[in-house]
Amino acid sequence: MFDRLKLLIDIDKLKNKTILVIGLGGVGGHAFESLIRSGIENIIVIDNDKIDITNLNRQTLAHQNTIGQYKTDIAKKLAYNINPNANIKTYQIFLDKNNIDEVFSNKIDFVIDAIDTIETKKLIIKTCLKEKTPFISVMGTGNKMHPELLEISDIRKTEYDPIAKIIRKMVKEEKIKEKIPVIYSKEKPIIKGKVGSSAFVPPTAGLIAASYVVNKILEENHG
């Protein structure tokens, strides 16, 4: 089933890796799906939300027949429909300081942070740094229309992103020295206050996140 991918890479290098995807919305859902389609079999997912009708414009898990169902349940079904050998572990929780240690007690080779809750995002970054777990953190994708302006950078080099601004402040105040890889957009938000979302920017950020993880793993194995 991965014949086309095998022309490009040795997917055996990916099979035994375990990826933690935090958030299954417009960003995380697409990251999750593309990891499955890249031959990664072991994925841990965290999300406490049910699919809502407002998710239909951008989330890969959102369809008329999945509204009202938990995102973790739909993600698991999607994974097994693509790859029956998938091993999906789900946490139907809101990640916080009370349960993050339990989550990180799992074997985790890489983390994709695809949430927009600021305090939890800070917690994820600091935990990954403490545990020396490779990660990529996705900044804001709302109120933007141009996916071509997304890029990967260290948090210190970001601009035009309200979430990144808060994370930069944390890094400065807590004197964090390590690199913090993020995906952010150089596009200035179209509106302020309410958050609108397009069908282009969140999914593209998710695909970039999955690509980053896969290529980093392949580089590590190649070395």
Has residue 67 been placed in a domain? Answer: yes
pLDDT digits (tens, 9 = 90+) for 50-64: 999 999 999 999 999
Has residue 118 been placed in a domain? Answer: yes
The Cα–Cα gap between 20 and 42 comes to 9
Q: Which two tokens stand for residue 177?
A: 């020295």
The whole-number pLDDT of residue 25 equals 98
pLDDT digits (tens, 9 = 90+) for 8-35: 999 999 999 999 999 999 999 999 999 9
Distances (CA, A) of 131 to 104, 110, 159, 222: 8, 11, 28, 23
Q: Which residue has the tokens 């200035």?
A: 188
Distances (CA, A) of 42 to 10, 110, 170: 16, 11, 32
Q: Which two tokens stand for residue 188?
A: 């200035």
Has residue 6 been placed in a domain? Answer: no
Q: What is the CATH number of the domain that holds 158?
A: 3.40.50.720
pLDDT-derived band at 140 (thresholds 50, 70, 90) equals very high
Residue pair 22/124 in contact (Cβ under 8 Å)? The answer is yes
Is residue 223 over pLDDT 60? no
The whole-number pLDDT of residue 158 equals 97
Has residue 103 been placed in a domain? Answer: yes
Has residue 9 been placed in a domain? Answer: no
Has residue 3 been placed in a domain? Answer: no
Has residue 110 been placed in a domain? Answer: yes
CB count, 10 Å around CB of 176? 16
Q: Which residue has the tokens 């890094």?
A: 171
Distances (CA, A) of 161 to 24, 166, 168, 184, 198: 21, 9, 10, 7, 16
Distances (CA, A) of 170 to 78, 106, 120, 121, 130: 36, 27, 13, 11, 15
Number of structural domains in the chain: 1
pLDDT digits (tens, 9 = 90+) for 181-220: 999 999 998 877 789 999 999 999 999 999 999 999 999 8
Q: Domain range spanning residue 38?
A: 14-222
